[in-house]
Structure 1
């Protein structure tokens, strides 16, 4: 991931130099809003905070792919959202320019040491203008998309392997229970 996202490893067919860009040239950081008054039990859209989903709503705040980052509290766990959502006021969301691949920016956000940009001595905090002033190196939109596709495919493969591991672990646990209680006996085993 680091090799691809820093340009040290290039994909076939891409050779243009990467450009230094401020995040603010690629996206605008927006503030979330209070969920009070919009939260409902079985809403169509998630209400997101820095720790994940905290409720549902039938009104969305933003409906395009976006990278989200904590404004207060958990500031080092970027989230990617490609369906309509609502964010609370402790979670920033981003409006990305048309020449920026959302997944590429998400993967870049994952690599940033957000704690080094903390602006508070108590509860960790980020500022929108600080985020927008961070400089990164970025390739053309086409190369961003190609890199994001490869990394997304790898994430999907990892998730499938983790699901298979969890299923195997559950199977082992169930089998162990059956064997250790004597409900299942091994063939050819005699117990005196």
Structure 2
């Protein structure tokens, strides 16, 4: 049986209405409660909701208007719509969310001065609607992948928080283990004066170049760029930076400046100080630098740079846009602990960083699988038994 024999050919206006969001104050101060959504996704929490069930949110105003799903009751502000089914016995909202991900919402423009989603265009959009049980089966497959991806993301965040907490305890609060395994400063560890304040004896104020090697990027000619994965991944700046690791969309066959796998990538112009890590050899353009530890302590160096550049554009200069030179990077003042302490930290935290990389690679596999299955399941090319 072809899918057209059991799927109804309808228009979205036959099965849903687009409800307007409402203006709301105070949601940005909230950190718990019901999620609040706008054009580009969740923007906070509030103690009120507009929809008492999970549901689909569609951006209404702005250059980019996305489709989002809330697993719990939610609020929508006035830059977005939310879907209200005409018949809950006919439509699974999770299926509706995935179906709408295959559509170009941004093309449904009302023609106003500010780009705005046209309700009439949306209502006229055709849809092939499977039976409810088949909708649920499709949504179960896709949502199980999304849930695993989200679980991995949350694990990665927790692992990094653990590493950051250890770094703060050891190198900011100076509570690293002393010879007896007790917190150094609070156990009476000797502190001495420095130009950066009181520091543990044996530490010193130095420059980044004393513990790190810095390679500045150089951009090949555009004739060597491609999207067919010929050559090495190429990154000009931060446009493809992700959580920890960049995604690769451009490749290059002219390798002028190559960051080796594991190098800390740092943006050196507009903005200065954003970080990622190279998950493979890659070519860096003029907007990036690659930094590596001189004593094989890249995990320590990564968290040091995180702290040093926690405020972007803190360093650098420029009349048109901010940038930083290699010399300026090399001469940034830092505290340099004893070498054995950096090494001890790295031995502990390197395991956490390796786990983050493993989970990140799994996220990519799952994401590719979901993105491959999504259009095939929603078009009926791949059928799912209702049971």
Q: Normalising by structure 1, report the TM-score.
A: 0.73
**Alignment correspondent of 1:30:** 19
Deviations 1:35-85 (A, max 9, x none): 14x758446223221123334332211111221111111554101113122
**1:108 deviation in Å?**
0.7
Aligned residue in 2 for 1:155 = 146
1:114 aligns with 2:273: no
Task: Please state if 1:84 is matched with 2:73.
Answer: yes
- Contact 1:16/1:139 (CA < 8 Å) preserved in 2? no
Question: In structure 2, what is the equivalent of residue 62 of structure 1?
Answer: 51
Unaligned stretches of 5+ residues in structure 2 = 161-243, 246-261, 265-295, 303-335, 347-387
Offset at residue 164 of structure 1 (A): 6.2
Shift of the 158–136 alpha-carbon distance from structure 1 to 2, 3 Å rule, reads same
8 Å CA contact 1:35–1:47 kept in 2: the answer is: no
Instruction: Tell me whether 1:176 sits opposite 2:298 in the alignment.
Output: yes
Distance 1:158 1:55 in 2: 21
Q: How many residues align?
A: 172
2:136 aligned with 1:145? yes
Rounded to whole Å, the distance in 2 between the matches of 1:30 and 1:114 is: 16
Distance 1:177 1:66, change over 3 A: closer
**2:359 aligns to what?**
none
Change (3 A) 1:17 1:175: farther
Q: What displacement does 1:177 show?
A: 3.6
Greater C-alpha radius of gyration: 2
Deviation beyond 6 Å, 4+ runs, structure 1: none
Q: CA–CA distance in 1 between the matches of 2:50 and 2:123? A: 20
Instruction: Determine the C-alpha separation between the residues in 2 that align with 1:56 and 1:50.
Output: 15
Q: Secondary structure at the match of 2:141?
A: helix
Question: Which structure 1 residue ranges, 5 or more long, are not aligned?
Answer: 1-7, 187-192
Give the distance between the partners of 2:136 and 2:5, measured in 1 at CA.
Answer: 15
Moved more, 101-110 or 71-80: 71-80
**Which residue number corresponds to residue 61 of structure 2?**
72
Change (3 A) 1:162 1:88: closer
- Kindly state the Cα deviation for residue 102 of structure 1 after the two structures are TM-superposed: 0.5
Determine helix, strand or coil for the equivalent of 2:137: helix
Distance in 2, Cα, partners of 1:69 & 1:87: 9
In structure 2, C-alpha distance between the alignment counterparts of 1:132 and 1:72, rounded to whole Å: 17
- Greater relative CO (CA pairs within 8 A, separation 6+): 1
CA distance in 2 between counterparts of 1:129 and 1:115 reads 14
Change in Cα spacing, 1:159 to 1:142, as seen in structure 2 (3 Å) is same
Contact 1:76 1:113 in 2 (8 A): no
